[in-house]
């Protein structure tokens, strides 16, 4: 019996030691990844015009392409910078994030499509979460009000894109991701102009009871 308990003790000790070593290794990988991300994003900033956002590399090797701030992914660059800052506390990364928010802010009044959630909540949402700067909060609320103008009462949903010769009122699944901006703004004093139940019929038509 004594041998049995000794065996259990040493087995448990070995498992705990291996688990701790594994966690330390994961920690080193995470540290290394964020350190690399910070360096890469600083390089990206250096090669991106001050009035544009980075988009992707073109077909020609080494050719970086850019977008204006109305591109639906324009908030991803500053949003990612804030995630990097959250982990690294790198003040240079924070400075770059703030610089990029400054050129993006004007899109808070954009009403041309449903992508304001991607553009403004990913960027200004993270900025407010990490800094508590009330100016960012006001930008988020304004953007939510702009997005709310795309609500169409007849279909109880949000119109994704503008009318075309093929589609009268396009509604796509991406709506569900942009709605987070509206819910968050409503919970933080965004006002009654935000129709937070707006895509409930969309949810019923496109999901089954056991799906999310």
The catalytically annotated residue of 31, 50, 174, 187 is 174
Bridge partners of 64, per DSSP, are: 57
Between vectors from CA 23 to CA 22 and to CA 25, what angle results, nearest 5°? 65
- Our answer to whether residue 174 is catalytic in this structure is yes
**Active-site annotation holder among 31, 50, 90, 115:** 115
Burial bucket for residue 205 (CB in 10 Å: 0-12, 13-18, 19+): exposed
**Tokens 């990844």 found at:** 33
Neighbouring residues of 163: CB distance < 8 A, sequence distance ≥ 6:
169, 170
What are the start-end ranges of the H helices in 47-163?
76-88, 91-104, 116, 126-131, 134-148
> Is residue 128 within 8 Å of 102, Cβ to Cβ?
no
3-class state of residue 151 by DSSP: strand
> Could you give the residue numbers annotated as active site?
115, 174
């Amino acid at each position: 019996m004594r041998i049995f308990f000794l065996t259990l003790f040493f087995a448990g000790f070995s498992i705990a030691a291996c688990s701790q070593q594994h966690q330390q290794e994961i920690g080193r990988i995470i540290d290394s990844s964020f350190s690399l991300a910070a360096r890469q994003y600083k390089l990206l900033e250096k090669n991106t015009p001050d009035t544009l956002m980075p988009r992707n590399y073109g077909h020609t090797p080494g050719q970086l392409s850019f977008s204006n701030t109305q591109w639906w992914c324009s908030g991803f660059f500053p949003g990612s910078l804030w995630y990097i800052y959250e982990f690294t506390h790198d003040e240079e990364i924070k400075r770059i994030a703030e610089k990029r928010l400054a050129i993006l802010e004007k899109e808070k009044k954009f009403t041309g499509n449903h992508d304001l959630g991607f553009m403004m909540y990913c960027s200004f949402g993270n900025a407010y979460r990490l800094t508590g700067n009330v100016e960012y909060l006001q930008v988020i609320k304004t953007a939510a009000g702009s997005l709310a103008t795309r609500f169409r009462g007849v279909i109880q949903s949000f119109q994704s894109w503008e009318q075309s010769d093929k589609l009268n009122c396009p509604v796509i699944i991406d709506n569900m991701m942009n709605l987070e901006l509206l819910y968050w703004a409503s919970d933080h004093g965004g006002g009654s102009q935000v129709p937070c139940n707006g895509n409930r019929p969309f949810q019923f038509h496109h999901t089954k009871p056991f799906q999310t």
